[in-house]
Structure 1
Amino acid sequence: MADKSLDRRIVRTPDICGGKPRIAGHRITVQNIAIWHDRLGWDADEIASEYDLELADIYAALAYYFVHREEIDQSIREGKAFVEEMRRKTSSKLEEKLQGKT
């Protein structure tokens, strides 16, 4: 196992994950870790085990999140708003069938 210092565990790359901060070598964003930990209640061990990550990766992501919490929480809110807007604009084929519209 290669030793990575904490400042190299979280990276931002413009063409990967939309430039969001993520765990180096993975497409798992700090935002993902924050949602799983704070909103779903998963502990660091669960996240590390589920996604085959080192505990240090999880703690580095959480530390990054707490330093940049306002920015990342805003990104989460924007993502939720986008999904809701798309749901309002796009009809569900299943819902249409259930209502006999097709």
Structure 2
Amino acid sequence: MTSIVRDESIRSGEPRLEGTRITVRDIKRRVIDAEEDPHVVAGEYGISMAECFGALAHYYEHRDAFEDAERAAERTRRDGERQTRKLVDERRGETAESTEDAAES
């Protein structure tokens, strides 16, 4: 039986295969999202097919929670990009003003 565990000090508490740093999300992204062969994914991670499919089963059993977390992460990413864009634009404005002030001197 595949054991899925959480530990806040490992991979930010993401559900993962016990005894590894391989998260359920790692396997889901490759097998489901990227449509990679589960046998290849298991081989590359050095895990059994039972562990690979156990992780996928865990994902499907908790799909709503995973999707909610992915949506929240996407919102956080977009907010960070907006804040960065705003800071860059503000800096560009300061640089343009500094250049204009230097030209007037």
Give me the TM-score of the superposition, normalised by structure 2: 0.70
What amino acid is the match of 1:26?
A: T
The residue matched to 1:33 in structure 2 has which SS?
Answer: helix
Match of 2:66 among 72, 82, 101: 72
**Residue pairs, 1:52-67, within 5 angstroms:** 52-67=46-61
More helix, by proportion: 2
Shift of 1:85: 2.0
Higher Rg of the two aligned structures: 2
Structure 1 segments of 4+ aligned residues over 6 angstroms from their partners: none
Corresponding residue of 2:20:
26
Check the 8 A contact 1:48/1:58 in 2, yes or no: yes
Deviation string for 1:13-57 (max 9, x for gaps)?
132222221011222211221122221111211211222222111
**Residue pairs, 1:84-99, within 5 angstroms:** 84-91=78-85
Give me the TM-score of the superposition, normalised by structure 1: 0.72
**RMSD of aligned Cα (Å):** 2.6
Shift of 1:59: 0.6
For 1:47 and 1:79, locate their aligned partners in 2 and report how far apart those are by CA, in whole Å: 24
How many residues of Structure 1 are paired with residues of Structure 2 in the alignment?
Answer: 91
* Runs (5+) with no aligned partner, structure 2: 89-95, 97-105
